[in-house]
Structure 1
Amino acid sequence: MEKLSDNLPIITLTTDFGIHSHFVAELKGKLLNILPNCKIIDITHSINPFQLIETSFILKNSIFHYPPQTIHAVGVDSSLELYKSLIIAKCKNQFIIAANNGILPMVLNGFEYNYKNIEIKQDDYFSFKNIFPHYIKSLIENNFDLEKLPGENENILKLVMQKPVFSGNIITFNIIYIDNFGNAYTNLTRDFFEDVVGNKKFIINLSKFESVSKIHTNYNDVSEGEKVCFFDENGYMVIAINRGRANKLLGFRLENNQFIIELI
């Protein structure tokens, strides 16, 4: 007879815990006690604290590359003492578990998905470590059938990622993620840009004194130290400096991050 531990799925972890504390190690220990031999993959633990938009960008561009029935546990702004329920969602045969804080509708926007909203009555500030693993185990024990889990199929908190705005001859858009190299990923997509700009000339204002007027294909289209804008493989505009840190040299921050494209 096959035991639960004989065929465990992959469990990924995405948190804002950082890499220098004991929290991630505690969480993994908890999972391994409940699900011995489970396969744990770290997506990242370096999300800026409570940054759901950044989290959404990371997850949207990573989770669908995993094998079917992978479980993605999201520990960003995850206090069930605050949000009172957790969501387990299924989308394209991937399973995501997170607090009912609005993150899942952002990640899964544009996709069909099913979910269970499970009320959590006990107060536990460290619920991601102490409560989430038990519901991961329950999902596996119920053969990934959401209908066998407690909870309801409604009352999910919905947050929507801010979209670019086009008004007059101006497009405004924002940074949603800054990677380890200082490159800024924005909410401006290739489709939006091509629909609005087409063959018109334009200027992308990056700061008070810096701008570009051409979209390139990658970093190496410009000389070392030069500014470059291009669309990544997922269709998001990236603002970078070839072999430099755009966030430092151009003053980018997640908290103060609006850009303007002028059509001329």
Structure 2
Amino acid sequence: MGATAWISLTTDYGLTDGFVAACHGVIGRIAPDARVIDVTHLVPPADVRRGAAVLAQAVPYLPPGVHVAVVDPGVGTSRRGIAVAAPGGVLVGPDNGLLLDAAAALGGITAAVELTNPAWLAPEVSRTFHGRDVFAPVAARLALGAPLADAGPAVDPAALVRLPEPVVRATADGFAAEVLTVDHFGNVQLAASGSLLAALPARLAVAGRPAAHGRTFGDAPPGELVVYVDSAGLVAVAVNGGRAADVLAVAPGDLVPVAPLG
């Protein structure tokens, strides 16, 4: 890829330690003119699916560039570090399924490599901090325009690790879908396309609780549930003035039925 001015960072590093600053520092030493966008560093620790969803839903709106993601419970094991090219950018991170939905959102994988070139990495690579010692320096070199192929050997995209497909299934009068994410506001995003709501009536039952079928939070009375199509085009459940995750007592991975209120 040619030189780019943009690098994004998405991690579960939190904001109370120096981990994020160290990654910024490595990038700044190698590519001082690169601009860094911090997508989030508050992905729940080791929650690869949440990180994948946040990344995939953010990258279509970022400038074309290099996108680093680190949610990496397997750091230091035999899992590979990879860089994945797509028409809309390059993604850098662990081979644990974190990057692939984002690659699809950027147009699909056109090439992938394993990050093995020692000249591209820190002189000493920590067993537990590949964000600093592997992924940040690789991203900086790619941002400077270095060829992807120089980072390491090619990897067959079909051999990359994929997360299990979330459950979405039809029911007699509606559907049931896995909770994909819960956001900062407690809104519950389901792994179901918004098109599944089109045929359902104005009054719904979500996990047995009454809910309005609306377009935004104010389409339900204060304190009540509303089911809507969110900004990512997926079915979501909110509470007008409250937290749907608490009302429904659900977490990512739980299966939530949505049907007409009978």
Normalising by structure 1, we get a TM-score of 0.82
Alignment check: 8 A CA contact 2:204 2:213 kept = no
Residue 261 in 1 paired to residue 258 in 2? yes
Residue 190 in 1 paired to residue 190 in 2? no
Tell me the amino acid that sits aligned with residue 259 of structure 1: V
In structure 1, the partner of 2:233 is 235
Give the deviation of 1:238 after TM superposition.
1.4
**1:40 pairs with one of 20, 23, 36:** 36
In structure 1, the partner of 2:102 is 107
In structure 2, the partner of 1:177 is 181
Alignment check: 8 A CA contact 1:80 1:123 kept = no
Give CA-to-partner distance per residue, 1:205-237, whole Å, 9 cap, x none. Answer: 335xx232x420101112222211101132111
Tell me the amino acid that sits aligned with residue 190 of structure 1: G
Q: Secondary structure at the match of 2:77?
A: helix
The 1-side partners of 2:205 and 2:77 are apart by 41
**1:133 pairs with one of 123, 131, 136:** 136
The 1-side partners of 2:26 and 2:146 are apart by 21
Normalising by structure 2, we get a TM-score of 0.83
Tell me the amino acid that sits aligned with residue 34 of structure 2: C
Give CA-to-partner distance per residue, 1:153-206, whole Å, 9 cap, x none. Answer: 313222243141125446221211111111111111113444xxx367884333
In structure 1, the partner of 2:80 is 85
Which structure would you say has the larger RCO, counting Cα contacts within 8 Å and 6 or more residues apart?
2
The 2-side partners of 1:225 and 1:193 are apart by 22
Alignment check: 8 A CA contact 1:105 1:160 kept = no
Give the deviation of 1:133 after TM superposition.
2.1
In structure 2, the partner of 1:60 is 56
- Structure 1 residues 146 and 86, CA, compared in 2 at 3 Å: closer, same or farther? same
The 2-side partners of 1:106 and 1:243 are apart by 31
The 2-side partners of 1:178 and 1:42 are apart by 20
5+ residue gaps, structure 1: none
The 2-side partners of 1:167 and 1:231 are apart by 19
- Structure 1 residues 51 and 67, CA, compared in 2 at 3 Å: closer, same or farther? same
Tell me the amino acid that sits aligned with residue 253 of structure 1: A
Alignment check: 8 A CA contact 1:53 1:161 kept = no
Tell me the amino acid that sits aligned with residue 210 of structure 2: S
Alignment check: 8 A CA contact 2:174 2:200 kept = no
In structure 1, the partner of 2:70 is 75
Give the deviation of 1:19 after TM superposition.
1.4
Q: Secondary structure at the match of 2:226?
A: strand
Tell me the amino acid that sits aligned with residue 168 of structure 2: P
Give the deviation of 1:144 after TM superposition.
5.7
- Structure 1 residues 109 and 202, CA, compared in 2 at 3 Å: closer, same or farther? farther
- Structure 1 residues 119 and 149, CA, compared in 2 at 3 Å: closer, same or farther? closer
Give CA-to-partner distance per residue, 1:10-69, whole Å, 9 cap, x none. Answer: 11110011112221122212222222232111100110111121112111111111222x
In structure 1, the partner of 2:121 is none
Number of paired residues? 250
**2:93 pairs with one of 79, 84, 98:** 98
Q: Secondary structure at the match of 1:31?
A: helix
In structure 1, the partner of 2:148 is 146
Q: Secondary structure at the match of 2:22?
A: helix
- Structure 1 residues 199 and 12, CA, compared in 2 at 3 Å: closer, same or farther? closer
The 1-side partners of 2:154 and 2:37 are apart by 29
Give the deviation of 1:91 after TM superposition.
2.0
Tell me the amino acid that sits aligned with residue 132 of structure 1: F
In structure 1, the partner of 2:16 is 20
In structure 1, the partner of 2:122 is none
Residue 206 in 1 paired to residue 201 in 2? no
- Structure 1 residues 123 and 95, CA, compared in 2 at 3 Å: closer, same or farther? same
Q: Secondary structure at the match of 2:213?
A: coil
> Equivalent residues in 2 for 1:158-169 (5 A)?
158-169=162-173
In structure 2, the partner of 1:222 is 220
Tell me the amino acid that sits aligned with residue 169 of structure 2: V
